[in-house]
Structure 1
Amino acid sequence: MLPPSLWEYQPNWTLLTFNILILLGKVLGSREHRYDYYPSPRPKFLPGGSNFTFHQGDTATLTCGVMDLGTKTVSWRRDSSLQPLAIGEMIFSPNTDYKIHHPENSFYWNLLIKNVQPKHADTYECQISTGDKMKRRMHLNVIDDDTFRKPAEKPKIKRVPEGDKLQANTFQGDSSGSTSGHVLSEKFLFIVSTLFVVYLILWSHDAS
């Protein structure tokens, strides 16, 4: 049995509460220090393509996967413009063809371009909002179906009946004959003029 003096002991509740708070502060401080010792992992890109080709009118999809994103954000930018196309899932472009596809709990922040046209062909950047601006570049090619899918028109071959062939050959012969006749007429005129000059010379000689 305890002595009467211990039964009569009344603890100092204020001092006890103060000591408990100090103990909790030390525990929490050690936990914060431990978390600082193990920093969050750095974001990194998942493997993906860097060259995408689509036909005109398709929905183009440029894929960008990021692991360990944490509190960082993913943004898209067109290489020919300083203005971002999208930050997170928010679109900043006035062009309504652009959209971000990010399924829930997914690593991917894909850029969709509806009804893609040759004007959309360019180099695009998927960026992570780190201090050094981690980014991945990819090029979009758009095939113009008006020139790609339509084969060149072959010249139409028209069958000519036998009678028409004979007339055509006659016409061709007349054409070549007219050319040769023109050459002969020039030669004939040259000979005639030469003979005329010789005649004049002889005539003047006889007259003298």
Structure 2
Amino acid sequence: MRPTSLWEYLPNWTLLIFNILLLFGKVFCSPRDHNYDYYPSPRPTFLSGETNFTFHKGDTATLRCGVMDLGTKTSDGRPYVVSWRRDSSLQPLAIGEMIFSSNTDYKIHHPDKSPYWNLLIKNVQPKHADTYECQISTSDKMKRRVYLNVLDDDTFRKPAEKPKIKRVPEDEKPQATIYKGNSNGCSRKQNEYSHKLLLVTSTLFVVYLMLWSHDAS
């Protein structure tokens, strides 16, 4: 029997070497731009703040909602979005800064680089009083509820009452004694006293002159 030559096994060796090179190529030359979650992105969180808001009828109501780490993305690469919904309705009021209500009183106020996505209600009325939800588009729909109370101006904004003036009858009014003075600032009694003193002094002087004349003669 003729011994088997090495060349007869060449196709098998070639296939084995090809598989080894292919395996090394997958391990060491694979692209590094795969979206593996080695470091999971931080989960958005709500900022602490007031949840009860009270406004008067006709005001511009501001319902505040702050969210941190909203710029991160979900596992499928989509960004998180903040939305508003009224508790008594399934229809969203706003998604992001886009309003989904035919009522033009609603508006989203989101300053540049601010974590706040506030819901504004212009010319707020008692019909707007309700529970509102600020939502984040996570898989479990993170929610934060805020409560809006609207006070009616006719009830809670009464004008200040004017002080009541008690009118005193004419016969009960106190009579004030008025002293009229002259141009020198003297009162009437002072003038009468001065006149009497002048009269007495003049009389005494005349009597003195008459007695002096009688003695001289």
TM-score of the aligned structures, taking structure 2 as reference length: 0.57
Offset of 1:157 from its aligned partner? Answer: 11
Specify the alignment match of 2:149 in structure 1. Answer: 141
Offset of 1:24 from its aligned partner? Answer: 11
Q: Which runs of 5+ in 1 are unaligned?
A: 1-18, 162-208
Q: Which structure would you say has the larger Rg?
A: 2
In structure 1, C-alpha distance between the alignment counterparts of 2:99 and 2:85, rounded to whole Å: 11
- Which AA in structure 2 matches 1:56? K
The 3-state SS of whatever aligns with 1:136 is strand
> Is 2:31 the counterpart of 1:28?
yes
- After superposition, the Cα gap between the structure-2 partners of 1:152 and 1:107, relative to the gap in structure 1 and judged at 3 Å, is closer
> Is 2:127 the counterpart of 1:119?
yes
In structure 1, C-alpha distance between the alignment counterparts of 2:88 and 2:45, rounded to whole Å: 25
Specify the alignment match of 1:75 in structure 2. Answer: 83
In structure 2, C-alpha distance between the alignment counterparts of 1:142 and 1:55, rounded to whole Å: 5
Q: Which runs of 5+ in 2 are unaligned?
A: 1-21, 73-78, 170-217
- Which AA in structure 2 matches 1:67? M
Offset of 1:55 from its aligned partner? Answer: 1.0
In structure 1, C-alpha distance between the alignment counterparts of 2:139 and 2:26, rounded to whole Å: 38
Offset of 1:32 from its aligned partner? Answer: 3.8
In structure 2, C-alpha distance between the alignment counterparts of 1:135 and 1:106, rounded to whole Å: 19
> Is 2:131 the counterpart of 1:130?
no
Specify the alignment match of 1:52 in structure 2. Answer: 53
Specify the alignment match of 1:42 in structure 2. Answer: 43
The 3-state SS of whatever aligns with 1:36 is coil
Specify the alignment match of 2:62 in structure 1. Answer: 61
Instruction: Report the RMSD for the aligned CA atoms in angstroms.
Output: 3.1
In structure 2, C-alpha distance between the alignment counterparts of 1:151 and 1:106, rounded to whole Å: 39
- Which AA in structure 2 matches 1:106? S
In structure 1, C-alpha distance between the alignment counterparts of 2:28 and 2:158, rounded to whole Å: 77
Q: Higher helix proportion, which one?
A: 1
In structure 1, C-alpha distance between the alignment counterparts of 2:117 and 2:34, rounded to whole Å: 32
Offset of 1:135 from its aligned partner? Answer: 0.4
4+ runs deviating over 2 angstroms: 22-29, 151-154, 156-159
- After superposition, the Cα gap between the structure-2 partners of 1:100 and 1:158, relative to the gap in structure 1 and judged at 3 Å, is same
| Cα distance per residue 1:111-166 (max 9 Å; x no partner) | 00001111111000000011111000000011111111126989x9998x8xxxxx
Specify the alignment match of 2:113 in structure 1. Answer: 105
In structure 2, C-alpha distance between the alignment counterparts of 1:152 and 1:41, rounded to whole Å: 54
